[in-house]
Amino acid sequence: MVTIPPMERTPSPAPIAADALAETLHLLRLTGTLYCRSELTAPWAIDMPPIEGCMMFHIVTTGHAWLTVGDAEPLRLQAGSLTLIPHGAGHRICSGEVDRPIGLFDIPVERISERYEVLRYGGGGEFTHAMCGVVRFDHVAAHRLIGHLPRVLQIDSWNEDDAHWLQSTLRFISREAATLRPGGETVITRLADILIIQALRAWLDAAPEAKLGWLAALRNPQIGKALALMHRSPAHPWTVDMLAGAVAMSRSAFSARFTALVGEPALQYLTQWRMQLARAHLQENAEPLSHVAARFGYQSEPAFCRAFKRTFGVAPGGVRRQATRWQVQADSAME
């Protein structure tokens, strides 16, 4: 089991992560989860719709299944495997060749709670039991990390201890959702955090592509520390000289290494990071724009608005109005 290192203590401007990758994993927080226990009998085939901005996962606990995303070759899901579809792509999961797959939303389900349901479907043959879920992350760091993941990520090499732990965790999730004890949804969300992070850690440890670009920069002792500084204190008036000094590098050496690893200069990265945080904040809060500007490192509202529009092609107020319309539509759909 890999242990995430603790954060160092530093007096200013904020605690610095000893491991910026661990810091990023720490920011993986779920804002919405839906779990479905699927009881399937062959032959069966289900078309899963695309769900933008979400990660979907399947854990087969009994039997097996086949998963196909787009025109890729079918992937066999063995019992005990955890398979993520990180970018919410539409896909098909099935027992094998089936002439007429059914859409997910065309199958009746038993709703146990707002976050948990049971789906029973199939032709009466061989059993496959699976836990499927949809999760959404709420932090810019999580979205950036997930953006580096492949279309499909499968973890099926659990050792005996991990397999036991995984099955125990799934049983605990099922029991919490079914009994609806006080705090059950909180427990489910935290356990989902653990399951997803465990899968991501396994990929980060093993995948060659996880050693490149932004992910490699997070692991670098100097650049990772600079990234952690910017991530933790985006409103701080960082300069290249300050960042270089904080990681004990010369200005020129720091600038060259940062750009080589991250793919853009440090202050450009900082602006993008601030704008991504600001957009998420605007979508969820009615705070005055002048306060939002100060929160993300801008001394004037006009300067903030110009930077925001350069980044996204729309003014901050437009993003807020759009978020309000989406919420109204979502509320109407729920009624």
Render pLDDT for 116-168 as a digit per residue (tens, 0 to 9): 889 999 999 999 988 888 988 777 888 888 888 999 998 765 555 555 676 67
| Lowest mean pLDDT, pick from 1-10, 200-209, 315-324 | 1-10
Question: What pLDDT was estimated at residue 5?
Answer: 35
Q: What is the pLDDT of residue 222?
A: 94
pLDDT of residue 334: 37
- Spatial strand order of the sheet with 116-122 comes to 109-113, 116-122, 30-41, 127-137, 55-62, 82-85, 153-155
Percentage with pLDDT > 70 across the chain: 81
How far is CA 326 from each of CA 34, 89, 115, rounded to the nearest angstrom?
20, 21, 21
Rounded to the nearest 10 degrees, the angle between the axes of helix 301-312 and helix 266-284 is 100
**What is the DSSP track for 100-132?**
S-EEGGGS-EEEEETTEEEEEEESSSSEEEEEE
- Amino acid 3: pLDDT: 29
Q: Which residue has the higher pLDDT, 113 or 6?
A: 113
Residue 4 has what pLDDT?
A: 30
If you average pLDDT over every residue of the chain, what do you get? Answer: 82
The per-residue pLDDT for range 91-117, each reduced to its tens digit, is: 999 998 877 899 999 999 998 877 788
Rounded CA separation 68/97 (Å): 12
What are the start-end ranges of the E strands in the chain? 30-41, 45-48, 55-62, 65-68, 75-77, 82-85, 91-94, 102-103, 109-113, 116-122, 127-137, 153-155
Is 91:54 a contact under the CB 8 Å cutoff? no
User: pTM of the full predicted structure?
Assistant: 0.73
Give the DSSP per-residue string, 235-275.
Answer: TS---HHHHHHHTT--HHHHHHHHHHHHSS-HHHHHHHHHH
What's the first-to-final CA gap in the chain, in angstroms? 46
Q: What is the pLDDT of residue 223?
A: 95
Domains of the chain and any CATH numbers: 24-210 (2.60.120.280), 233-327 (1.10.10.60)
How many CB atoms sit inside 10 A of residue 219's CB?
A: 16
